[in-house]
Chains A and B, each alone.
Chain A
Amino acid sequence: MDFALSQEHAMARDLFRSFAQNEVKPLAQEIDEEERFPSENIAKMAKLGFLGIAVPKEYGGQGCDYLTYTMCVEELAKVCGTTAVVLSAHTSLCQMPILHFGTEEQKQKYLVPLAKGETLGAFGLTEPGAGTDAAGQQTKAVLDGDEWVLNGTKMFITNGYYADTYVVFAMTDKSLGRKGISAFIVEKGTPGFTFGTKEKKMGIRGSATYELVFTDCRIPKENLLGKLGQGYAIAMDTLDGGRIGIAAQALGLAEGALEVTCDYVKTRKQFGKTLGQFQNTQFQLADMATRCDAAQLLVYRAAIDHDIPKKSSDGMCSSMAKLYAAETAMYVTTKAVQLHGGYGYIRDYDVERMMRDAKITEIYEGTSEVQRMVIAKNLLK
């Protein structure tokens, strides 16, 4: 067993780190402060192929593995949680279900421009009454001739408004329960598809979180993704991969906060000594670093396992990775703020933003409680 990255992966990580530090970090504070979508970052990432890292080359992507994509999210999150989640939602939640369940025509029409970075993707599952209980979908899709007619509302949709392509879930036969849910591809600009409230959030404030409203929205019959009634299975499969993306975001936030804090305690003096010379600080940093390392091992294992279909089927690895990385993000960023003292509570310091950004990782794409349910279910089956 060798825990070292391959030369290729190490070089890819250097690339992502360099890009994040030089291009993304300088804008992170401004994007958060102004609650502004990081369009310039996304345009640069598109040019370098970052928006298609995990998509095969024949569909316009970079043809890399899930670990490479995961490391990209991690490095972005070290400096900007917002930019990281935009990439994660685009890749894990929109590209992957089209790649895994789409027809060849759907892949050519939607996946190729998504992978080339010509379009941005989003995923619409959550509803006002269907969050953790994803099976409680109220949005309906009815077949009328050659078109599906969608009615309903989705909420908390990452990349909403800015995305061009949406994977949306709707009930096609309520009597069948979760087996009556189907998935659809909906284009921005389709008549009857509008955007509602833009949410004002605690963290990741630059990411656009919108309500999607469907009012007699007619989409072509061929925009059904996968089979009729396969929507719930598609959603669960997608979220299994999506959790690795969010776990990577959480990991990056924790590592970023640790790096910033190490720099800070080396220079900040109290009682004639740097903070780093106090044993209390050293012990705190040791705990933070150990948790970061453990989280990274879990996240990388989940990413590697994701590329092996037989291993990724139970969702255990990704749930463990997301659970631990998210709780590590909260633990480490909270400690980081504490070690910064009063400065840590000021918006001029990165750790203040990182702590706010970290909280959502315990909530979206399956709360920590849902991850525990998945893990326990596997243990007891």
Chain B
Amino acid sequence: MNIVVCIKQVPDTAGGVKFNPDGTLDRAAMLAIMNPDDKAGLEAALRLKDEYGAKVTVVTMGLPKADAILREAMAMGADDAVLVTDRVLGGADTWATSQTLAGALRALDYDLVITGRQAIDGDTAQVGPQLSVHLGLPIVSYTQKLRIEGDYVIAERMFDDRHHVLKVKMPCLLTALSELNEPRYMTPGGIFEAFQKPVTIMGRKDLVDTLDSNIGKVGSPTQIAKASDKVRKGAGTQYIPEDATDAAEYITAKLKEKFII
């Protein structure tokens, strides 16, 4: 079984968020980590590998420094790594990103594709579903549990108040929730081995059946008008009421003031 896991390098919020003048994220200026949902997806793939035997390939699109998360994934147990990087791919929105990843995945063998539900930088949850459409794969999004039965994946899809159990024939695509599992730690020896392994680099020319009009900033229908740091909330004011009636009067007055009631 060949499993491809799409992972993304995202800004570590502990290091602060910085923007380019055009409103896109200045990824080069930020500390970076593997997106948590993607890490859960990788862990799911590694558990399938442990249980059923599989070759796990991780794919990321990003700047050359995204190599770090590919090494981390290999130190956790991934077998191969692919970095899709090219200047013409920069500034991509979810559409252009999913088109690019689809172009890369067409060049790879896979029975199962796993992506994270969403990345903590954009929070769109669009790339996984879009990728399934481009590749013509059935999709189970919000996967919280899975196992393999022959050529089928049995997956639990999370809903607000229930879950659906779906039986899907491979090849198919799953988007993983971080609730799916607790990702394993790397091993010290695994880290040093990971840096000895080659990482396959793919550029624009290596993308299969991908139109120029669908990649990079040019191929991105979404244009960011403005981006900024979240405005911090004030400390608030403390009001100590005399009694319950006073408290109720104070609250209703405040709610009326804000036209809530």
Interface set of A (CB-CB < 8 Å, partner B): 7-8, 11-12, 15, 18-19, 48-50, 53, 57, 61-64, 68, 72
Cβ A72 vs Cβ B188 within 8 A: yes
Q: Among B54-62, B68-76, B137-145, which stretch is in contact with chain A?
A: B68-76
Q: Which residues of B contact A18 (CB under 8 A)?
A: 185
A61 surroundings in chain B (CB, below 8 A): 189
- Do the beta carbons of B185 and A15 come within 8 Å of each other? yes
B72-A11 in contact (CB<8A): yes
Residue of B nearest to A57 (CB): B189
B191 interface neighbour in A15, A19, A50, A57, Cβ under 8 Å: A15
- The answer to whether A63 and B192 have CB atoms under 8 Å apart is yes
User: B108 in the interface, Cβ–Cβ < 8 Å?
Assistant: no
Q: Are B186 and A15 in contact (CB under 8 A)?
A: yes
Q: Which residues of A contact B68 (CB under 8 A)?
A: 7, 11
How many B residues touch the partner, as a band? 10 to 19
Asked whether, in the complex, the Cβ of B189 is within 8 Å of the Cβ of A11, the reply is no
Q: Are B185 and A48 in contact (CB under 8 A)?
A: yes
- Decide if B71 touches A62 in the complex (CB within 8 Å): no
In the complex, what residue of chain B is closest to A7 when comparing beta carbons?
A: B195
Give 8 pairs: A residue, B residue, CB < 8 Å, sorted on A. A11-B75, A11-B186, A15-B191, A48-B185, A49-B190, A50-B188, A62-B187, A64-B188
Known: A7-B71, A11-B71, A11-B72. A62 touches B188 (CB 8 A): yes
| CB neighbours of B189 from chain A (8 A) | 49, 53, 57, 61-64
| A-binding residues in B (CB < 8 A) | 68, 71-72, 75, 185-192, 195
Q: How far is it, in angstroms, between the C-alpha of A15 and the C-alpha of B191 when the chains are bound?
A: 9
- Given contacts A7-B68, A11-B72, A11-B75, whether A64 and B185 have CB atoms under 8 Å apart is no
- Docked Cα-Cα span, A197 to B236, in Å, equals 60
Q: Across the interface, do B71 and A48 meet the contact criterion of CB distance under 8 Å?
A: no
Write out the residue numbers on chain A whose beta carbons fall within 8 Å of the beta carbon of B195. Answer: 7-8
Q: Is the CB of A64 within 8 A of B192?
A: yes
What separation, in Å, do the CA atoms of A195 and B26 have in the docked complex?
Answer: 61
Question: CB within 8 A of A48: which of B72, B187, B192?
Answer: B187
Nearest A residue (CB) for B186? A15
Contacts A7-B195, A11-B71, A11-B75: A53 and B188 contacting too (C-beta < 8 A)?
Answer: yes
Query: Can you add 19 more A-B contacts, CB < 8 Å, to A11-B186, A49-B190?
Result: A7-B68, A7-B71, A8-B195, A11-B71, A11-B72, A11-B75, A11-B191, A12-B188, A12-B191, A15-B186, A48-B187, A53-B188, A62-B187, A63-B189, A63-B192, A64-B188, A64-B189, A68-B188, A72-B188
A19 contact set on B, CB distance < 8 A: 185
B residues in contact with A11, CB < 8 Å: 68, 71-72, 75, 186, 191
**Cβ contact within 8 Å between A49 and B188:** yes
Q: List residues of chain A with CB within 8 A of the CB of B72.
A: 11
A49 pairs with B192, CB closer than 8 A: no
Contacts of A48 in B (CB 8 A): 185, 187-188
A68 to B72, CA, bound (A): 16
| A15 contacts across to B, CB distance below 8 A | 185-186, 188, 191
Bound together, the chains give a CA A64 to CA B71 distance in angstroms of 16
A49 to B72, CA, bound (A): 16
| Cα–Cα, bound, A49→B193 (Å) | 14
- 6 closest residue pairs by CB, A with B: A62-B189, A49-B187, A62-B188, A8-B195, A64-B188, A11-B191
What distance in Å separates the Cβ of A162 from its nearest Cβ neighbour in chain B? 23
In angstroms, Cα B75 to Cα A49, docked, is 13
Q: Which residue of A lies closest to B75 (CB)?
A: A11
Which chain B positions have C-beta within 8 A of A64? 188-189, 192
Chain A residues with CB below 8 A from B185, complex form: 15, 18-19, 48
**Smallest CB–CB gap between B34 and chain A, Å?**
12
Q: How far is the CB of B38 from chain A (nearest CB, A)?
A: 17
Chain A residues within 8 Å of B188, by CB: 12, 15, 48-50, 53, 62, 64, 68, 72
A248: min CB distance to chain B, Å? 15
Interface centre among B68, B72, B186 (most CB of A within 10 A): B186
Q: Which residues of A contact B192 (CB under 8 A)?
A: 8, 12, 62-64, 68
Within the complex, what minimum Cβ distance (angstroms) separates A233 from chain B? 30
Assembly CA distance A62 to B185 (angstroms): 14
Q: How far is the CA of A355 from the CA of B195 in the complex (A)?
A: 39
